[in-house]
Structure 1
Amino acid sequence: MSTSRTSGAQESPSMTDRVNSVVKYLRSEVPECLAAGVIDMATGMLLSVETVDTHPPEVLDLLAATTLEMFQGRNVMMIEDIFKERRGVVTDRHYFQEILVNSENLAHLFLRSGSNDDIVVAVVCRKSVNVGMLFAQARRVLREHGRL
């Protein structure tokens, strides 16, 4: 007869599970969402992505590289430092937390994780999306499911 003991505590999900979960929630809960991904700014790597279309790996790598440049490129970091200095902000956190980019047919929203400045989520929607709802739903998903 075998006996198993459990402490009653649940194992916390792995980082991979949390990242994949956030991507799935973004895809299902952000209006008109065509793609969602999570980028690690420390490594410049795309940790997870889910899209309605298939894309070659080079295109997905460009998403990660572009996100890194938009948030932590040399000029961006210099501008952040100037803004923080002029406003008397003393923190190691990045100044820019969200960036919205509209292209010909798409709206791309990039948000830093509230719990980790090195994690950025990207959400791509049709340009017809209600931008207020895009922000509201993406922020809600990150707040409720984004402990990355």
Structure 2
Amino acid sequence: MSGRVVNIVKTLRTEVPECVAAGIIDMSTGMLLSVETSDSHPPEVLDMLAAATLELFQGRNVVMIENIFKERRGVVSDRHYFQEILVNSDNLAHLFLRVDSADEVVAVVVCRKSANVGMLFAQARRVLKDNGPL
């Protein structure tokens, strides 16, 4: 699986418009499985990315909101309700996507804010789909 993860990260970096960083996080362990960036970052910053992603998707309040939404909509499933989250900072767009074939794996793509958001979503989704199940 590690070779496939590295390949997905490299493909995200090259095929998503204005991408400056990409990574894959295993939510079950909280580990950053692979990362590639245009700049070098200290390991503690990358570790914080993994921890923040875990909190963003599976923090106590997020899970509570997911459960309320599922209950109100009559959804009976263990599948997480939130699948994609976009966070815009001053200069960057950070896209977090659950991998369809592995619900506990999240791909992170960071692009310049000038990137077309529709293309960011479309290309990131296509790369994950084209690389098949993990």
The two structures share one fold, judged by TM-score above 0.5:
yes
Q: CA RMSD in A?
A: 0.5
Task: Measure, in 1, the Cα distance between the counterparts of 2:79 and 2:59.
Answer: 15
1:99 matched to 2:85? The reply is yes
Aligned residue runs from structure 1 range 113-128, under 5 A: 113-128=99-114
Question: Could you tell me which residue of structure 2 aligns to residue 134 of structure 1?
Answer: 120
Aligned residue runs from structure 1 range 37-116, under 5 A: 37-116=23-102
> How far did 1:146 drift?
4.5
Task: Measure, in 1, the Cα distance between the counterparts of 2:114 and 2:7.
Answer: 26
The structure having more radius of gyration, on CA atoms, is 1
Question: Could you tell me which residue of structure 2 aligns to residue 30 of structure 1?
Answer: 16
Letter paired with 1:30: V
Task: Measure, in 1, the Cα distance between the counterparts of 2:133 and 2:9.
Answer: 12
> How far did 1:147 drift?
1.9
Name the structure with the higher strand share: 2
Contact map agreement 1:109 1:123 (CA 8 A) in 2: yes
Runs of 4+ in 1 over 6 A off after TM superposition: none
Structure 1 residues 49, 146: CA separation in 2 closer, same or farther (over 3 Å shift)?
Answer: farther
Aligned residue for 1:134, secondary structure, equals helix
Deviations 1:70-126 (A, max 9, x none): 000000000000000000001000000000000010000000001011000000000
Task: Measure, in 1, the Cα distance between the counterparts of 2:132 and 2:56.
Answer: 21
Letter paired with 2:11: Y
1:143 matched to 2:121? The reply is no
Quote the sequence identity (%).
Answer: 77
TM-score by length of 1: 0.90
Contact map agreement 1:108 1:122 (CA 8 A) in 2: yes
Q: What 5-or-longer segments of structure 1 have no aligned partner?
A: 1-14
Aligned residue for 2:103, secondary structure, equals coil
TM-score by length of 2: 0.99
Between the two proteins, the alignment pairs up a number of residues equal to 134
